[in-house]
Structure 1
Amino acid sequence: MKKILLVCSAGMSTSMLVKKMQEVAQKENKDYEVEALALSEAETKIDEVNVILLGPQVRFQKAQVEKVAQGKVPVDVINMQQYGMMDGEGVLRQAESLME
């Protein structure tokens, strides 16, 4: 199972996106676990995930998250348009490309 972590300010705004990403993964029979957490909690999960995607509202924290990740997992920012449209498929594709 591959684990995708979405990070935002409070861990709430990404909950809808998590649901949409899980629906796409399920439909495609992909064994992914998608979770959303607040930035403050995300650091405890670094060793348990395959990729970390930051919500656009915390993109300024990317360097900090990369420093904590120490190159163990890829870290990227979710495209603002995909995030705003809650494009679960598009964000899932972004996570997959980073996990390759």
Structure 2
Amino acid sequence: MKKISLICSAGISTNRILDKINDVIAKNNYDIQFFAITPEELEHDDYNRLLALLVKKLQIFVKKILIEKYNFN
């Protein structure tokens, strides 16, 4: 499973978004999972990292990844 960590300071709102995204991904059996982490957790994390400063920007970026890499509509 490919695990992608999204780094931002708004951890609570990011977690809410990622919970919904991960639910849809799990229902469709995609081999990917998103996590939210804070910058302080970076040194202990081995996952891929994406930096999102705004929640809307995060939504657009995640949707783009899902469409391009996994034909997710």
Q: After TM superposition, is the score higher than 0.5?
A: yes
Q: TM-score range by the shorter chain?
A: 0.5 to 0.7
Q: Structure 2: 5+ residue runs without aligned partners?
A: none
How much has 1:91 moved relative to structure 2?
A: 5.6
1:35 maps to what in 2? 35
Pair 1:53 & 2:26 matched: no
Alpha-carbon spacing, 1:18–1:24, altered in 2? closer, same or farther (3 Å):
same
- Distance, in Å, in 1 between the alignment partners of 2:50 and 2:27 is 21
When the two structures are superposed, what TM-score results if normalisation uses the length of structure 2? 0.65
Alpha-carbon spacing, 1:95–1:38, altered in 2? closer, same or farther (3 Å):
farther
Instruction: Determine helix, strand or coil for the equivalent of 1:30.
Output: coil
Runs ≥4 residues deviating over 6 A: none
When the two structures are superposed, what TM-score results if normalisation uses the length of structure 1? 0.51
Q: Structure 1: 5+ residue runs without aligned partners?
A: 58-77
- Distance, in Å, in 1 between the alignment partners of 2:21 and 2:49 is 14
- Distance, in Å, in 2 between the alignment partners of 1:14 and 1:94 is 20
Residue identity in the other structure for 2:4: I
Residue identity in the other structure for 1:6: L
User: Larger relative CO (CA 8 A, sep 6+): 1 or 2?
Assistant: 2
Query: RMSD of aligned C-alpha atoms?
Result: 3.2
Aligned residues: 70
